[in-house]
Structure 1
Amino acid sequence: MNQNKINIISLGCSKNLVDTEVLMKQLDANQFQVTCEEENSDAKTIIINTCGFIGDAKEESVDTILQYVEAKKDGRIDKLFVMGCLSERYRDQLEREIPEVDHYFGKFDWKAIVGELHKEYKPDFKNLRMVTTPKHFAYLKISEGCNRSCSYCAIPIITGKHISRPMEDILAEAKSLVEGGVKELLVIAQDLSYYGYDLYDELKLAELVQALSEIEGLEWIKLHYAYPTQFPYGILKVMRENPKVCRYLDIALQHSSDNVLKLMRRGINRAKTTELINRIREEVPGITLRTTMLVGHPGETREDMEDLKNFVQEMKFERLGVFPYSNEEDTYAAINYEDNIPQEEKERRKEEIMLIQQDISLEANKKRIGQELKVLIDRQEGDYYYGRTEFDSYEVDPEVLILKENSILKIGEFYNVKINDCEDYDLFGTVI
């Protein structure tokens, strides 16, 4: 066993992963040997970065904690620390119910974690990370928290109000990442739309992205998790005119029915949503839109579901995911509404939307056949190389599959690929 080695288990979203990478850099700077989710690790200290967003994620976090509690009982590890969203929200309860954990920390308690390990937090490393993704791309988090008041969402309860990171800090981190070999930045936040307003009294997403694009060596920038209300329209000109900014936008809409949008407290209606989507597509020709929908919210009727199905069919989003409503304690919905739609019905409604989207995705993919696209190669597996176009983000979107027998390709490099076939969610191509 390695007494100086720490293995971090990072659960949940990409924003959580960035937090893990920040902590890893601090531990590395303090001469620890640090790994992320290493299988069969000989580390004697385990840190679990938990997720506490929805029921399934909380269950996974608790199960993972219990798994390592058993490892501690068996003598396979010495120390077990828990941090992140679940610990931030339920620390007192966790301390009572799983006392075998050596220490619980909040979501951003890097300094306390380093101190508990008898080392010193290093402020000079605040904009540096140990990247755990393939070295050619990285996530870049530009803000924390959220000022919105969506009925179903526990994020503001966990992370607090929206706090934009200063632009100079973001640019310093981005430059460091690019110097380390990153070619693609996946810009993330709980709410991209609000970036900058709390610091500069105006929305600054467009200015930030333009500044990022000027970093030498960076080739792609993708934007994730915009909010439809108070949308920063200035970003559309940057996307249209700047070749480094991918024609890709992840914007969570959640629903189309005026009734459900009002119950969700989204601050928008169907007509304004349609107007927004049409304007985005008009100002950025060829853009790919990714969105998510939430079904089974309290008060959602069959009429609301028909409205949503019609909306999805009408708007034909290139990428779409669906989540069944999860009743999260202390949220507005949990306090004020009755969660009276059975889980089986929520799942059935999810499948209704995904069946529609499957056909839409296939039709969108068929239109790519014959096109020549720039593809970034992520990995090699089995008989294929797997890559992505500017219209696809890591893990959540379709991939381009290229037969190994036809080409010898390098991971992390760009290639021009002619698309010659497709499935519902993937493309097949040949390097030109």
Structure 2
Amino acid sequence: MRVHFKTYGCQMNENDTQIMAGILLHEGFEIVDELELADVVILNTCVVRQKSQDKYHSALGQLVKLKGQGKIKLIGVAGCGSNLEGEKLLTLGADFVIGSRSIVDVAEVLRRSATGEKVVHLEDRTHLLEADIPRFRKVKHHAWITIVHGCNRFCTYCIVPYTRGRERSRPMQDVLREVERLVAEGTIEVTFLGQNVDAYGKDLKDGTSLARLIEETSKFEQIKRIWFLTSYPTDITDELIEVVAENPKAAKSFHIPVQSGSDRILRMMNRRYTSAQFLSLVERIRSQVPDASISSDIIVGFPTETDQDHRETINLVRQARFERLNLAVYSPRPGTVAARFFSDDVPREVKVERLNQLLEIQKQINAELNGAYLGRVVEIIVEGKTKDGSYYGRDIRNKIVIFTSDEQLNLGETVRVRVERTTAGPLYGRKE
């Protein structure tokens, strides 16, 4: 049977799709890029916001029509949506539902579904997601590696702890075995993933930490860069900052969601720090890693957010001067504390106005920060080509550079690029 995946959401979902595709390939299924060629379509879903959930519901409806026309045979739903909605997805037209912590059993679930059985499989099987599990990676030079599943933080707005469960770290030796295998396949960059990646190792109670994992991974000669996503402010340790500062292979990039600049809103969100503590962390990182790139996330229009709360967020953004900022308007997620106990009382038009204001401020900050790159030579790992034939890649600070070259380059190749033009977004240059 030919299987097509449609993946929504974060890098962890992308990694889960690679695992499911790898398992199915190993079990004799065929993976196809085109929907038109598929017998089976699996939606790997995200529910972090209502818009994400609406998007895959719409896709599911379209697939049901295609199945009715005889163009596909089976529809599966995986990811966070499967954990949230379970059997309800069968009533919406899915033939099988597999939880984000159950993906190791995807081949068995698909075979059962092919016999006509309606399957909902939501067991926690993350302990079986080891280095030897097949992965299907189209990109050879870079790999996502999930090192800790779930989240224990229970921010009041966030549905992730309910859909991905509690934190479970992989043993470090197992992660390193996966790195070793990847290196043998030509990988030169890895990104360690976790909903709260800095919590890695805490549950193992054997001294394992993200900092130690980065150090051990850097010992592989072929590995050139090591990234990690996503950090929770109070879990970033001095040990981690020191490793990023001193290890030349550790990317000088921290993604640390702040969510709000208002201490009152942060308390309502159950974020366990103040705006002053967050800014102190930013200063500590920059004092030890002078070239550190720090990016963040902010939720706009959380329940009861006032103009003063918004001004405090603006003030934090201007002080922090993030390299990148992901902005989203608040949307209640079913089952969360915020959805149960707080009224979504900030009008939509106010949310959009506040979001646009922050976007403009961040755009100005980006333009100013990027201007410092003009004339510099940066080391880039080639990631791909644009439609006009230019190349693109990132430097060790996660800055995207689009550049021209007089010679043909390969994906994963390391080159030096002189920056000739800057914008609020990508940088532009030419290979030296």
> Please, what TM-score do these two structures have when normalized by structure 1?
0.92
Alignment of 1:353 onto 2:353:
no
Alignment of 1:386 onto 2:381:
no
Residue pair 1:25, 1:125 contacting (<8 A) in 2 also:
no
Task: Provide, for residues 74-100 of structure 1, a one-character-per-residue CA deviation record: whole Å limited to 9, x for no partner.
Answer: 11111222222111111132223x1x3
Alignment of 1:16 onto 2:13:
yes
Q: 3-state DSSP class of the match of 2:352?
A: helix
CA drift of 1:142 comes to 0.9
CA drift of 1:411 comes to 2.2
Per the alignment, residue 395 of structure 1 pairs with none
Amino acid at match of 2:102: D
Per the alignment, residue 320 of structure 2 pairs with 315
- Please give the alpha-carbon distance, in whole angstroms, between the structure 1 residues aligned to 2:228 and 2:82: 28
CA drift of 1:170 comes to 1.2
Percentage identity across aligned positions?
Answer: 29
Shift in CA distance, 348/205, structure 1 to aligned 2, threshold 3 Å: same
Structure 2 unaligned residues grouped into runs of 5+: 113-124
Task: Provide, for residues 55-88 of structure 1, a one-character-per-residue CA deviation record: whole Å limited to 9, x for no partner.
Answer: 0110111111112111111111112222221111
Residue pair 1:19, 1:108 contacting (<8 A) in 2 also:
no
Q: How many residues align?
A: 417
Moved >6 Å (runs of 4+)? none
- Please give the alpha-carbon distance, in whole angstroms, between the structure 2 residues aligned to 1:95 and 1:182: 39
Residue pair 2:191, 2:228 contacting (<8 A) in 1 also:
yes
CA drift of 1:194 comes to 1.2
Residue pair 2:24, 2:106 contacting (<8 A) in 1 also:
no
- Please give the alpha-carbon distance, in whole angstroms, between the structure 2 residues aligned to 1:56 and 1:284: 37
Of 92, 98, 108 in structure 2, the residue corresponding to residue 115 of structure 1 is: 108
Per the alignment, residue 76 of structure 1 pairs with 71
- Please give the alpha-carbon distance, in whole angstroms, between the structure 2 residues aligned to 1:41 and 1:175: 37
Alignment of 1:403 onto 2:404:
yes
Structure 1 unaligned residues grouped into runs of 5+: 393-397
* 1:32-431 pair list within 5 angstroms: 32-35=29-32, 38-96=33-91, 98=92, 100-118=93-111, 127-200=132-205, 204-381=209-386, 382-392=388-398, 398-404=399-405, 406-431=406-431
Residue pair 2:67, 2:74 contacting (<8 A) in 1 also:
yes
Task: Provide, for residues 197-218 of structure 1, a one-character-per-residue CA deviation record: whole Å limited to 9, x for no partner.
Answer: 1112656111111111112311
Q: 3-state DSSP class of the match of 2:240?
A: helix
Q: 3-state DSSP class of the match of 1:22?
A: helix
Residue pair 1:407, 1:431 contacting (<8 A) in 2 also:
no
CA drift of 1:131 comes to 4.0
> Please, what TM-score do these two structures have when normalized by structure 2?
0.92
- Please give the alpha-carbon distance, in whole angstroms, between the structure 1 residues aligned to 2:330 and 2:208: 31
Residue pair 1:7, 1:41 contacting (<8 A) in 2 also:
no
Task: Provide, for residues 310-359 of structure 1, a one-character-per-residue CA deviation record: whole Å limited to 9, x for no partner.
Answer: 11112211121211111111111111111101222112111111100101
Q: 3-state DSSP class of the match of 2:251?
A: strand
Residue pair 1:255, 1:308 contacting (<8 A) in 2 also:
yes
- Please give the alpha-carbon distance, in whole angstroms, between the structure 2 residues aligned to 1:64 and 1:196: 37
Residue pair 2:261, 2:316 contacting (<8 A) in 1 also:
yes
